[in-house]
Structure 1
Amino acid sequence: MDFLERLKEFLENLDTFADHIAVGVLSDGNSIAFRPIPAQPPIKYLDGRKSLSYGFQVLVRHSDQLKAIQTTESISQTLDDLPKGAIKSENNSFAFLFCSISTPTNYVEQDSSGWVYTALFSANLSII
């Protein structure tokens, strides 16, 4: 399933301060990252179809605390408003149904590189 790669592409095309979005951990300095988080196992239907709730976390670090909050909020609103099919599989392994905010923007820490904020999401996918 290529959802992780397609999500990365989608996030990198958003209008943010970051030129690149990391998968896993934040880079040094002002940066944005996302990573998969635990979620429910797939639901299997009698006709063989599967439905998956794909959990992921978005992390934003910026030297300006307000910029970190605003960027996290902007990403959250964009993901929460995505219509069905907004993220497309290149290998037809999933169909994007919708994305919802599991945990809204919240403070993580302040480190030597700036302020870190996060939000958690659940993307609902039909596994093809």
Structure 2
Amino acid sequence: MDLDVQVANFISTHVDLFDTLTLGNVYAPGNSLSYTAQPAGPAIRYYDGRRRRSFAFAITAKNVDGITCIDTLNAISNVMEQATPVSIKSADGSFNFISAKMTESYKFVATVQDDDSQNAQLYSVYQGAFSVQVII
């Protein structure tokens, strides 16, 4: 199923991101954005064999400016909540998008350094949790 790829592509094309959105929990040096799949609840099975299912993901933003992280996560939330069934399409026909929402407000995760030098840049790390509902 290409859900994660299609959601990440949708976000990347509809939000002015400060860095490339990378799939997986990647803490790259410098500013970074990562998309990580998370566990979600059970599916609802229909009589015709299709299932309505929620999938969860988190976006982690790392930037020298914490406000940039917050603004980016808010912009992602706004775009995802406005997405319609025609907004996000499966390239391989594996899902039909229904809706998306931010399930947990952004939260401060940590202040990190890329290296241990005395003059190393400090970065703020924030994370927002989201879910999408699809029919598979």
Structure-2-length-normalised TM-score: 0.86
Q: Distance in 2 between matches of 1:53 and 1:122?
A: 6
1:56-107 per-residue CA deviation (whole Å, 9 max, x = no partner) reads: 1011110011111111111111112212221110111111100011101111
For 2:107, the equivalent position in structure 1 comes to 106
For 1:126, the equivalent position in structure 2 comes to 135
Partner SS, residue 108 of structure 1: strand
How many residue pairs align between the two structures? 126
Partner SS, residue 105 of structure 1: strand
1:11 is displaced (CA, Å) by: 2.3
Q: Distance in 1 between matches of 2:30 and 2:54?
A: 32
RMSD across aligned positions (CA) = 1.3
1:125 is displaced (CA, Å) by: 0.2
Larger Rg: 2
Q: Where does 1:81-92 land on structure 2 (aligned, <5 Å)?
A: 81-92=82-93
1:101-120 per-residue CA deviation (whole Å, 9 max, x = no partner) reads: 11011111111151011111
- Asked whether the equivalents of residues 76 and 104 of structure 1 are also in contact (C-alpha less than 8 Å), the reply is no
- Asked whether the equivalents of residues 83 and 98 of structure 1 are also in contact (C-alpha less than 8 Å), the reply is yes
Counterpart residue type for residue 131 of structure 2? S
For 1:70, the equivalent position in structure 2 comes to 71
Q: Where does 1:28-67 land on structure 2 (aligned, <5 Å)?
A: 28-67=29-68
Partner SS, residue 124 of structure 1: strand
Identity of aligned residues (%): 29
Partner SS, residue 109 of structure 1: strand
Counterpart residue type for residue 121 of structure 1? F
1:47 is displaced (CA, Å) by: 2.1
For 2:94, the equivalent position in structure 1 comes to 93
1:49 is displaced (CA, Å) by: 1.4
Q: Which runs of 4+ in 1 moved over 3 A?
A: none
